[in-house]
Each structure stands twice: as structure tokens, then as C-alpha cells.
Amino acid sequence: MSEPTTDRPLRVLVYSDDVTTRQQVILALGRRPHPDLPEVQYVEVATEPVVRSTMDSGTIDLAVLDGEAVPAGGMGIAKQLKDEIYRCPPVVVLTGRPQDAWLATWSRAEAAVSHPIDPLHLAETVVALLRARAVPAS
């Protein structure tokens, strides 16, 4: 297994208009979702404008966006981020059901996880994306 390139905490943005959904994501991932990754700091966001400004800051390593959020769903936000941010960090979209995963491909998100959130599946998905981001290309 690869060693992380830095001990700097990884910053994960968690977007949902529902505080319960944000907390489910954070509890599922924990402070250190895998031993070979640095600790994770969470940035909880409830509105689209704050998602965009936070992502524009360049300080986020991965975003988890709730596709069921209102009034702005995570899939539309993901597409906008991917269109507008050079080297946009990886995005995981939370979909309403497994059958909606195809919509995540439209949004250009790297992965989709369906509601209800399966903590193990979410953690595996996020760890794989963070690990790929933490290790530089050879």
C-alpha cells in the first residue's frame, strides 16, 4: 500500500440541505476512514453558493454532494463544478436510489452512492478516491 504524500489533513466537503444526511456521511467516514490516509477534516455546507465558493478556494480534496438536496441538487452542482473548476477534486454524489447512478455519469461525478447510506460502501468509495488523490502519479 502506498504511503500518503503528506500528513496534512484531507478536507472533505459534505453538502446537503439536510443536517441528518450530512451527519450520516461524517459518521460513516469517521476522522480517519483508512489507516494509510491522513486524518479528515469535514466542511459541512447547506447551500449551493457556499459549495461553489468553498470549492473555488482550492482547499477541498473531495466533495460529497447530496443529489436529493433542495433547491439545488448535488448532481447539477457536480456538473457545474466539473465544468468550471480546473482540476476539480473528485466528487461523490448521493443518489435517491441505486437506479439513479446513471445520472451521476451525466454530472461527471467520479462515483455515486445511493440513499439510504451504506457506511461501508460510502467509506470504500471515498477511500479509493482520496487514496488516488493523495498519491502522485508516477
CB within 8 A of 85, min separation 6: which ones? 55, 56
Query: 81: domain range?
Result: 10-134
User: Are the C-beta atoms of 55 and 88 separated by less than 8 Å?
Assistant: yes
| 27 in any annotated domain | yes
**For residue range 23-54, what is the model confidence (pLDDT) as tens digits?**
999 999 999 999 999 999 999 999 999 999 99
Mean pLDDT of the chain: 90
Of the listed ranges 46-50, 85-89, 99-103, 118-122, the least confidently predicted one is 99-103
Question: Nearest Cα to 81, choosing from 120, 107, 45, 111?
Answer: 107
User: Are the C-beta atoms of 18 and 74 separated by less than 8 Å?
Assistant: no
Number of structural domains found in the chain:
1
Residue 127 CA to residue 79 CA, distance in Å, equals: 22
Cross-strand bridge partners of residue 64: 14, 92
Read off the CATH number of the domain in which 88 is found. Answer: 3.40.50.2300
Peptide bond into 33 cis (omega under 30): no
| 105 in any annotated domain | yes
| 116 in any annotated domain | yes
Other C-beta atoms closer than 10 Å to the C-beta of 45 total 24
What single string gives the DSSP state of each residue in 21-80?
A: HHHHHHHHH-S-SSTTS--EEEEEE-SHHHHHHHHHTT--SEEEEETT-SSS-HHHHHHH
Instruction: Identify the pLDDT of residue 85.
Output: 95
pTM: 0.90
| 90 in any annotated domain | yes
Cell matching residue 101 = 447512478
Instruction: Identify the pLDDT of residue 122.
Output: 97
| 1 in any annotated domain | no
